[in-house]
Structure 1
Amino acid sequence: MEVIIDNRQEIIEYDSNIEKLIVDAVFLALEKEGVSNEVEVSVSFVDNEEIHKLNKEYRGVDRPTDVLSFPQYENAGDIEKFSSLGDIVISLEKAKEQAKEYEHSFEREVLFLTVHSMFHLFGYDHDTEENTKKMRQKEEEVLNKMGILRK
């Protein structure tokens, strides 16, 4: 498994330990889904301005968001055929805002967004109450395994 982390923003400083935790989160999410760890995942850190542009261009939503997922396949059943699972783009600016809003650590927020995005890459969505429940349960199982508990 290769996790490529690319910091494309200069607003939010972060501890380099967060990169190791992101790699761990990606590995545990792959393990949870039984997906081969012979894949590559790209994680890019951006600011609100860049994620706003991406959100508008790719989703038609004219505002910043916290995380975007870009799978490298058309059908979730084809995951094993690709060496690159996909790309995760996280606004560290938005993560910092949300950590404060939800009263937990910046680290927990970034890891939640990483795991959340991984399950989007696996084909999960939160478009219905049932799908949201399924996705949240998987996210929490991975975070709990890492000792990143909700307060």
Structure 2
Amino acid sequence: MTIQIDFIDETNEVTAEQIETLEQLIREAAAVENVPEGAEVSVSFVDNERIRVMNRDYRGKDAPTDVLSFALEEEGEGEIDIIGADVPPVLGDIIISIPKAKEQAAEYGHSFMRELGFLAVHGFLHLLGYDHETEEEERVMFAKQEEILTRFGLTR
């Protein structure tokens, strides 16, 4: 599965090896979900202040969070499909707070890499339309996350 993944590390705290692992993991998730060839996604690693501002501006919650996703392929009200446009889908952006990831890894008693992987898959599934607003949606999304992480070998 060939998808384009761009990584931006604003924190300079994520190693090349960790980025490579995340790239492989996202490719695995894309394969599981049958994401079209050539799809694009970006993953940014930020600090708590940056994600707090984004969370406030886009979700109305003035507090840092662990991961945000901004889907670009969602069809909004009043938008039209571009028929015949043979362009790969741009799925969107995943924003991960590195301080939150470290904090949660310690809190849950697993590795920083496991937490990064969890947040990347969680964000990626949001880009594909998964959500956890209801108990049923949460059950489906969280089961899919665990399936992908386990299949990849990134377990707790």
Normalising to structure 1: TM-score of the pair?
Answer: 0.91
Q: 1:55 and 2:61 equivalent?
A: no
Identity %: 47
**1:94 Cα offset (Å):** 0.4
Deviations 1:12-40 (A, max 9, x none): x2332111111112111111111113111
Aligned counterpart, 2:25: 25
CA contact (8 A) 1:116 1:139 kept: yes
**Under a length normalisation based on structure 2, what TM-score does the superposition of the two structures give?**
0.88
Q: Deviations over 1:98-131 (max 9, x none)?
A: 0000000000000000000111001011111111
Instruction: Write the mapping of 1:85-124 to structure 2, written as runs, cut at 5 A.
Output: 85-124=91-130
Structure 2: state its 5+ residue gaps.
none
Work out which of the residue numbers 150, 153, 156 in structure 2 matches 1:147: 153
1:75 positional shift = 3.3
Contact 2:37–2:88 under 8 Å retained in 1: no
Q: How big is each residue's C-alpha offset from its partner over 1:117-149, in whole Å with a ceiling of 9 and x where there is no partner?
A: 111001011111111010011101110111111
Q: CA distance change for structure 1 residues 73 and 14 in 2, over 3 Å: closer, same or farther? A: closer
- Structure 2: how far apart are the matches of 1:70 and 1:55? 11
Q: What letter corresponds to residue 96 of structure 2 in structure 1?
A: I
Shift of 1:82: 4.9
Residue matched to 2:74: 74
Write 1 or 2 for the structure with the bigger share of helix.
1
1:72–1:82 CA contact under 8 A, matched in 2:
no
In the alignment, the residues of structure 1 paired with residue 45 and residue 14 of structure 2 have an alpha-carbon distance, to the nearest angstrom, of 11
Is the counterpart of residue 65 in structure 1 residue 65 in structure 2?
Answer: yes
Give the counterpart of 1:84 among 90, 108, 114. Answer: 90
Backbone CA RMSD of aligned residues: 1.7
Unaligned runs of 5+ in 1: none
* Matched-pair contact (CA < 8 Å) for 1:73–1:82: no
- Which amino acid is the alignment partner of residue 103 of structure 1? G
Describe the superposition over 1:50-92 as per-residue Cα deviations: whole angstroms up to 9, x where unpaired.
000000000000100000000112239x7x9653111000000
